[in-house]
Chains A and B, each alone.
Chain A
Amino acid sequence: MKKIDKAVADAYSREKNKYTIIYLCIWFSVSFGVVLFADSLQFEMPILGFPFHYFMGAQGAVVTFIILLFVNAKVSDHIDVKYGIDEGANEQISSGKTLDH
């Protein structure tokens, strides 16, 4: 066990939180945001033929959610590597840690 500089540890959690907040803002705008203004977003989309508000509810929001989750997984991995986290060690530490009553 070695101690990590306080500044480094704080930077880690700040960076993770920053991204989470960005993702949640996007999550909110494509779902709640579009619904709030649904009446004025009813124009028909070219090619796909949907009214836009309907497209966002039926497809746009869901696809955005999926993309955000994959981006989050990828970016979090990247941050972990940047701070020298080794997934192998994580696995070792967490296996058997789960309490079984």
Chain B
Amino acid sequence: MENSQFFVSLTLILITFGIYIGIAIYNKARQTSDFYVASRGVPPVFNGMAIGADWMSAASFIGMAGTVMLLGYDGLAYIMGWTGGYLLLTFLLAPQLRKYGRYTVPEFIGDRYNSHTARVIAAICTIIISFTYSVGQLSGSGVVIGRLLEVDARIGTMIGVVLIAFYAAFGGMKGITWTQVAQYIILIIAYLIPVIFMSLQITNSPLPWLSYGHVVSELGELDRQLGLSEYFAPFENGSRWQFIALMFTLMAGTAGLPHVIVRFYTVSTMKAARWSGAWALLFIGILYLSAPAYAAFSRFILMTNVAGQPIDTLPAWTETWINTNLLQIADENGDGILQWTEIMIANDIVVMATPEIANLGVFVIGLMAAGAMAAALSTAGGLMISISSSFAHDIYYRVLRPNATDARRLYVGRITIVSATILAGLVALNPPGAITQIVAWAFALASGTFFPALLLGVWWKRANGPGVISGMVVGLFVTLTYIFAAQYGGFTIAGIIDTGAGIFGATAAIITNIVVSLNTKAPSQKTQDEVKDLRYPEQMTYQDGDVWMK
């Protein structure tokens, strides 16, 4: 049984990876022009799916439902935060950035603010944000690989490092939209099948979204009987302000994440950017609407089928998960029965362990493993590429060695990928937090640096170079300091912990940018016109106070 599970999981992972690579090779052969032009011909619906695959990482796939399960209502900040950010992005930034027409966020910041220093700081911020994010991805792949090979999650992480370094060094694969469309489809099927099966098992309904409300209410009832606070009771695991701060951090971070914004540069027009944003959130929403259902069903099964069993007749799945060090079961009161409160389950294994707990069969479990690997590897690969392009292009080529050859830049890029992956892997060996928490730090950093820089850059023509430089530096400093002070020093304001740090970073950066900009020289008339021009569609051009139509 155990062996057959291993082979089914491995086969499914290999088949799905075969599909991705196959599509990549097929497209590469057909592709005549430039790398980015390929996605121009892709209709917004499929571009939306590709954004979805890029977006949904190990945090969404592996971590989120577990986080919601353990935090109850307070975990919903992740659901609303990671979807609501798309509105800020699509209304306020994406179409405008598309009209400005640069390929990367550091390029936009450098050119809009007309500052080399701003470009370099933006490149450094991209590296810090993507690095933090990828620690979460590696730690996620560690969970999956660890379970698959029945080894400690740390050994799983090391295997993940090798896979990701290889995957990212392949390079171009990432940019091919159709590969990502395939990744999205596999990922969403893998996620929905167990939710639908559990819904059938527990509520007899094939539509979990409509049926799990009663399960949530019933969980509250079970908690009351055990004398615990209800599952859905608000602000039990953190203050109201922590919820608000975390939700803001995730939303603003979404609107400022470099590897997501890049996807909107490659659409054809501002109109296509708006439609891509809408389709992307629809496809992402399917997973985000299902995660709380997943959480409720998992908790229900654990509370009713697992808790209350004699401790010496526990099913086989418990042992394999205990081996990964992410599940602890102890009969603390020595009555021979396992109680709900005696199960210590890590956020990060809930999604992967539930299909086993619910006995959904080897195929579903294998599919989950394949989906999780797609989520972790595709996002980590993309992050590594954005780290390497920031270093090799924005810093090495634009600043350090302006006359470096293409081959030399490619070489520097590859070295960057390999060293960044290894470094991130070393950090992930002993993860400083749960996957969703680590990823939330990356969002906090993005909301403290890029969100203010982009928002003011697009909507306030008076914002200038000195303003954005001091804004980004102050935002980065405030966010980092708050994360460290809250995580390691126990420092909090209004109960806001590390994951909500972005609200302070963003506020500080916006104020700094405005104050410094107003006290220094206004940007040139040309720059100011270019900013005003972003309010109009491509056919209209703003110049010297007049709008012209082409």
- Mark A residues whose CB is within 8 Å of B: 1-4, 6, 9, 12-13, 16, 20, 23-24, 27, 31-32, 35-36, 38-39, 42, 44-45, 48-51, 53-55, 57-59, 61-63, 65-66, 68-70, 72-73, 76-77, 80, 84-87, 89-91, 93-95, 97-101
Question: Smallest Cβ distance from B410 to chain A, in angstroms?
Answer: 15
Q: Please tell me if B240 contacts chain A, counting CB pairs below 8 Å.
A: yes
Say yes or no: B80 contacts A61, CB within 8 Å.
yes
Nearest first, the 6 closest Cβ-Cβ pairs linking A and B are A57-B76, A9-B547, A49-B214, A50-B213, A49-B213, A69-B278
The answer to whether A100 touches B103, judged by C-beta atoms less than 8 angstroms apart, is yes
Q: Within 8 Å CB of A98, what residues of B?
A: 36, 101-103, 265
- Contact digits for B476-512, partner A, Cβ 8 Å, 1 yes 0 no: 0000000000000000000000000000000000000
Q: What sequence of 0s and 1s flags, for each residue 211-226 of chain B, a beta carbon within 8 Å of any chain A beta carbon?
A: 0011011001000000
Assess whether A65 is in contact with B274, with CB atoms less than 8 Å apart. no
Distance (whole angstroms) from the CB of B462 to the closest CB of chain A: 17
Chain A residues near B540 (CB-CB < 8 A):
4, 9, 12, 85
Count CB-based A-B contacts (< 8 Å): 190
Given contacts A16-B535, A20-B92, A48-B213, contact A72 B550 (CB under 8 A): no
* Shortest beta-carbon distance from B275 to chain A in Å: 5
> For the complex, is B243 an interface residue (Cβ under 8 Å from A)?
yes
B101 touches A99 (CB 8 A): yes
Cβ of B235 under 8 Å from chain A: yes
Which residues from chain B contact A12 at a C-beta distance below 8 Å? 536, 540
The reply on B167 being an interface residue by CB < 8 A is: no
CB-based nearest A residue for B280? A69
**What's the least CB distance linking A29 to chain B, in Å?**
12
CB neighbours of B271 from chain A (8 A): 73, 76-77, 80, 87, 90
Within 8 Å of chain A (Cβ to Cβ): is B285? Answer: yes
Residue of A nearest to B277 (CB): A69
Determine the residue in chain B with the shortest Cβ distance to A71: B278
Per the bound structure, the CA–CA distance linking A33 and B539 in Å amounts to 38
- On whether the beta carbons of A66 and B234 are closer than 8 Å, the reply is no
| Interface-lining segment among B82-90, B139-147, B371-379, B432-440 | B82-90
What chain A residues lie within 8 Å of B278 (beta carbons)?
66, 69-70, 72-73
- B-side contacts of A51, CB under 8 Å: 216-217, 220, 232
**When the two chains form their complex, are residues A62 and B549 in contact, meaning their CB atoms are under 8 A apart?**
no
Q: Chain A contacts of B220 at CB under 8 A?
A: 51
Tell me the minimal C-beta distance from B319 to chain A in angstroms: 33
Contact check: which of A13, A48, A54, A101 meets B73 at CB < 8 Å? A54
Residues in B with CB closer than 8 Å to A66 are 83, 278, 281-282, 285
A3 touches B265 (CB 8 A): no
Note all chain B residues with C-beta closer than 8 A to A50. 213, 216-217
SS class, residues of chain A in contact with chain B: helix
Q: What is the CA–CA distance of A49 and B398 in the complex, to the nearest angstrom?
A: 58
Closest B residue to A89 using CB positions: B539
Complex-state Cα separation, A62 to B77, whole angstroms = 11
Chain B positions within 8 Å of A, measured between CB atoms, are 34, 36, 40, 73, 76-77, 79-80, 83-84, 86-87, 90-92, 98-99, 101-103, 107, 209-210, 213-214, 216-217, 220, 232, 234-235, 240, 243-244, 247-248, 265, 268-271, 274-275, 277-278, 281-282, 285, 288-289, 292, 393, 398, 535-542, 545-550
Q: Are A38 and B235 in contact (CB under 8 A)?
A: yes
Q: With the chains together, A50 CA to B209 CA distance in Å?
A: 11
* Chain B residue, CB-CB nearest to A86: B539
Q: Are B87 and A1 in contact (CB under 8 A)?
A: no
Contact A53 B234 (CB under 8 A): yes
Q: Is the CB of B546 within 8 A of A6?
A: yes
- The answer on a CB contact under 8 Å between B550 and A93 is yes
Task: Add 16 more A-B contacts to A66-B282, A73-B274, A99-B103 (CB < 8 A).
Answer: A3-B547, A3-B548, A23-B91, A32-B247, A49-B216, A50-B213, A50-B216, A54-B73, A59-B289, A65-B87, A69-B90, A69-B277, A69-B278, A69-B281, A90-B270, A95-B40
Question: A44: which B residues are within 8 A, CB to CB?
Answer: 217
Q: A1-B550, A94-B101 are in contact. Are A45 and B213 (CB under 8 A)?
A: yes
Residues of B within 8 A of A59 (CB): 209, 289, 292
> With A66-B281, A70-B278, A72-B274 as given contacts, are A23 and B268 in contact (CB-CB < 8 Å)?
no
Give the distance in Å from the alpha carbon of A98 to the alpha carbon of B102 in the complex. Answer: 6
Least CB distance, A4 to chain B, in whole angstroms: 5
How far does the Cβ of A49 sit from chain B's closest Cβ, in whole Å? 4
Kindly list chain B residues whose C-beta atoms are within 8 Å of the C-beta of A61. 79-80, 83-84
Quick check: A65 and B83 within 8 Å, CB to CB? yes
Contacting pair B244 A53 (CB below 8 A): no
Per the bound structure, the CA–CA distance linking A38 and B536 in Å amounts to 39
B547 adjacent to A62 (CB under 8 Å) = no
Judge whether A93 and B538 touch: CB under 8 Å.
Answer: yes
In the complex, what's the smallest C-beta–C-beta distance from A101 to chain B, in angstroms?
A: 7
Chain A residues in 8 Å Cβ range of B84: 27, 31, 61, 65
Distance in Å: Cβ of A76 to nearest Cβ of chain B:
6
- The reply to whether A62 and B83 contact each other, CB–CB distance below 8 Å, is yes
What is the bound-complex CA distance between A69 and B87, given in angstroms?
Answer: 7
Known A-B contacts A2-B549, A65-B281; A80 and B90 likewise in contact (beta carbons under 8 Å): no
Check A62–B79 contact: CB distance below 8 A.
yes
Interface centre among A3, A38, A48, A65 (most CB of B within 10 A): A65
